[in-house]
């Protein structure tokens, strides 16, 4: 590989174009040399991002032509969720680094197949050995979130007991053909939207979930929509609101609170980490980080100090001035691309492995199973132990 990393973008919808914007913002050392998408308007929109004739990548309708063209050192897979497994099968057969968008897959059996294909590639002397396979989970790179994680790991809150993540936001955005209106295509809302958060919970706590209990439904969004299907009209079946409680071997617990008809919200994402010695909070889009210690937390006779006063709580805005493109994720995708490129150049392993990406999907699927069956679901029912 030359000093410039050549990227191919497979899937040129909104997220694919977001990746292109981030790569252009990185400047020297990276180049988008090829794009692929069967949807002509998406290809044209991606090509329109090129600022010069030299930047204009070669365009393909079929991703296999891109992979066979020898134009790329790395590929970014940003196609619809249900197509990831097919895209990954093809990409793993070529000598390229891979950054695949979340969720990795929509079905556990597909994820297990990809894990085996990655092992086979790494253990064979053929193409792809030693190449990165990285699952994009950009939420963990948002500046105030990354700072919260750093402080939590340094013990700023003591031994972590609870993690809670609330996202109150607008409904899902339209996609080509509205493919994201159906759980069969997305894996379900708690996979499509929330695998980011289940991954964050695992990252913060340093352990995988043992069980999930969830409650949710489709209460407001898409109720009046109808789509033609082979057996008659189809109505969207994606959940728009849910709670999920996760339990861990250490005794820690995590809570997800999702509402997708709450766009009239100031900070739509709120992450809280509570330990026996303090509390950390990250809020977006205000980029706020709150940090507080319990006063005299070790002295039983001092307990009972009133809460809600803000005493001992520091509040600051967290940003990374090295970010050249904030995009739709508060600069997180830019940072993730920087780290992905650095890992390629330095021969490091992926920061988010296929197994980690699959565990995040599995938690979402377990949460949906819990909602459907109205019971606690052990993760071992969904994903083999040890993955």
Q: Please answer whether residues 202 and 356 qualify as being in contact, where contact means their C-beta atoms are separated by less than 8 angstroms.
A: yes
Quote the CATH superfamily of domain 5-137+331-354. Answer: NAD(P)-binding Rossmann-like Domain (3.40.50.720)
- Sign of the CA dihedral with 384 first, then 381, 199, and 135 last: positive
Q: Reduced to 3 states, what is the DSSP secondary structure of residue 36? A: strand
**Strand, helix or coil at 209?**
strand
Q: Domain residue spans in the chain?
A: 5-137+331-354, 139-323+361-381
Residue 294 DSSP label: -
Per-residue pLDDT of the chain (387 residues; tens, 9 = 90+): 568 999 999 999 999 999 999 999 999 999 999 999 999 999 999 999 998 888 999 999 999 999 999 999 999 999 999 999 999 999 999 999 999 999 999 999 999 999 999 999 999 887 788 999 999 999 999 999 999 999 999 999 999 999 999 999 999 988 999 999 999 999 999 999 999 999 999 999 999 999 999 999 999 999 999 998 888 899 999 999 999 999 999 999 999 999 999 999 999 999 999 999 999 999 999 999 999 998 766 566 666 567 777 888 999 999 999 999 999 999 999 999 999 999 999 999 999 999 999 999 999 999 999 999 999 999 999 999 999
Q: Fill in the DSSP letter of residue 341.
A: H
- Contact present, 100 and 84 (Cβ < 8 Å): yes
Topology (CATH) of 139-323+361-381: Dihydrodipicolinate Reductase; domain 2 (3.30.360)
Name which of 198, 221, 200 is nearest 210 in CA terms: 198
Give residue for tokens 């970010």: 323
> What separation in angstroms does the CA of 178 have from each of 13, 101, 175, 346, 370?
12, 18, 5, 40, 26
């Amino acid at each position: 590989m030359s000093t410039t990393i050549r990227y191919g973008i497979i899937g040129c919808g909104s997220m694919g174009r977001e990746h292109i914007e981030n790569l252009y913002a990185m400047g020297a050392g990276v180049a988008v040399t090829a794009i692929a998408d069967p949807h002509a308007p998406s290809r044209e929109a991606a090509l329109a991002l090129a600022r010069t004739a030299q930047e204009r990548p070669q365009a393909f309708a079929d991703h296999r032509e891109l992979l066979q063209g020898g134009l790329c050192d790395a590929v970014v897979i940003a196609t619809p969720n249900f197509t990831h497994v097919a895209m990954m099968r093809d990409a793993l057969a070529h000598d390229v680094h891979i950054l695949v968008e979340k969720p990795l897959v929509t079905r556990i059996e597909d994820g297990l197949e990809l894990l085996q294909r990655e092992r086979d590639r790494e253990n064979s002397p053929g193409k792809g050995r030693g190449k990165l396979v990285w699952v994009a989970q950009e939420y963990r790179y948002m500046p105030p979130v990354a700072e919260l994680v750093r402080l939590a790991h340094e013990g700023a809150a003591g031994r972590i007991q609870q993690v809670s993540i609330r996202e109150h936001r607008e409904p899902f955005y339209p996609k080509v053909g509205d493919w994201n209106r159906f759980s069969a295509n997305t894996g379900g809302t708690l996979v499509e939207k929330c695998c980011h958060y289940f991954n964050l919970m695992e990252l913060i706590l340093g352990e995988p979930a043992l069980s999930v209990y969830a409650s949710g439904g489709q209460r407001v969004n898409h109720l009046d929509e109808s789509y033609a299907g082979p057996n008659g009209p189809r109505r969207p079946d994606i959940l728009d609101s849910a709670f999920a409680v996760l339990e861990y071997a250490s005794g820690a617990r995590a809570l997800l609170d999702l509402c997708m008809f709450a766009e009239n919200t100031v900070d739509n994402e709120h992450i809280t980490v509570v330990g026996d010695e303090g509390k950390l909070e990250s809020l977006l889009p205000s980029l706020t980080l709150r940090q507080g210690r319990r006063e005299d937390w070790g002295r039983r006779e001092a307990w009972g100090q009133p809460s809600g006063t803000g005493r001992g709580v520091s509040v600051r805005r967290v940003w990374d001035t090295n970010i050249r493109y904030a995009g739709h994720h508060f600069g997180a995708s830019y940072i993730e691309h920087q780290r992905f490129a650095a890992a390629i150049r330095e021969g490091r392993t992926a920061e988010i492995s296929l197994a980690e990406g699959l565990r995040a999907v599995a938690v979402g699927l377990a949460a949906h199973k819990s909602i459907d069956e109205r019971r606690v679901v052990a993760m071992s029912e969904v994903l083999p132990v040890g993955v």
